[in-house]
């Protein structure tokens, strides 16, 4: 897979718009579009670092010094990844993934607030 294709795939997999990624990296939406179309091949080092952070991939992959890890985890926490995998494998619970496909942003914000409240409660705040 070419790097421009990988960048687009990773952005889409993470559910980010070009605008969101551009804001995180500190470039214009047009720059993201040109990176993803392969029209810009040379990137500043600071942009490579910001892009790798935003997309959770190694800067060495962006530089094409390393091959992308196709098993690159979506979840940064291994315990969360294991739980998500168990949910995904379970026919009864997999509906949670299917139901989340068309979730409205405001509904996700409600879920996020609930999770944050549970974390605060767990930490005794």
What is the DSSP track for the chain? --HHHHHHHHHHHTT--HHHHHHHHTS-HHHHHHHHHTS-----HHHHHHHHHHHT--HHHHTTSS---TT--SSSSHHHHHHHHHHHH-TTTTHHHHHGGG--HHHHHHHHHHHHHHHHHHTT-
Between 112 and 124, the more confident residue is 124
- For 59-116, the pLDDT digits (tens) are 888 888 877 665 545 555 556 666 766 766 777 666 666 666 666 677 767 777 787 7
- pLDDT band with cut points at 50, 70 and 90 for residue 29: very high
- Asked if 36 contacts 7 with a C-beta cutoff of 8 angstroms, the reply is yes
- pLDDT band with cut points at 50, 70 and 90 for residue 19: very high
Instruction: Measure the CA–CA gap between 56 and 60, rounded to whole angstroms.
Output: 12
CA angle at 41 for the pair 37 and 47, rounded to the nearest 5°: 100
For the ranges 32-36, 47-51, 58-62, 90-94, the lowest mean pLDDT is seen at 90-94
The whole model's pTM is what? 0.54
| Other Cβ atoms closer than 10 A to 9 | 14
Instruction: Measure the CA–CA gap between 15 and 28, rounded to whole angstroms.
Output: 18
- Full set of structural domains in the chain with CATH: 3-62 (1.10.260.40), 78-122 (no CATH)
């Amino acid at each position: 897979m070419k790097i421009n294709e990988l960048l687009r795939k990773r952005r889409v997999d993470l559910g980010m718009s070009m605008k969101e990624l551009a804001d995180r990296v500190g470039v214009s939406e047009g720059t993201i579009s040109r990176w993803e179309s392969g029209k810009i091949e040379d990137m500043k080092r600071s942009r490579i670092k910001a892009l790798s952070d935003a997309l959770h991939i190694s800067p060495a992959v962006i530089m094409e010094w390393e091959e992308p890890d196709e098993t690159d985890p979506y979840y940064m926490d291994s315990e969360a990844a294991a739980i998500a995998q168990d949910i995904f494998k379970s026919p009864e619970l997999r509906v949670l993934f299917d139901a989340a496909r068309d979730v409205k942003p405001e509904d996700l914000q409600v879920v996020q607030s609930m999770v944050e409240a549970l974390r605060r409660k767990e930490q005794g705040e």
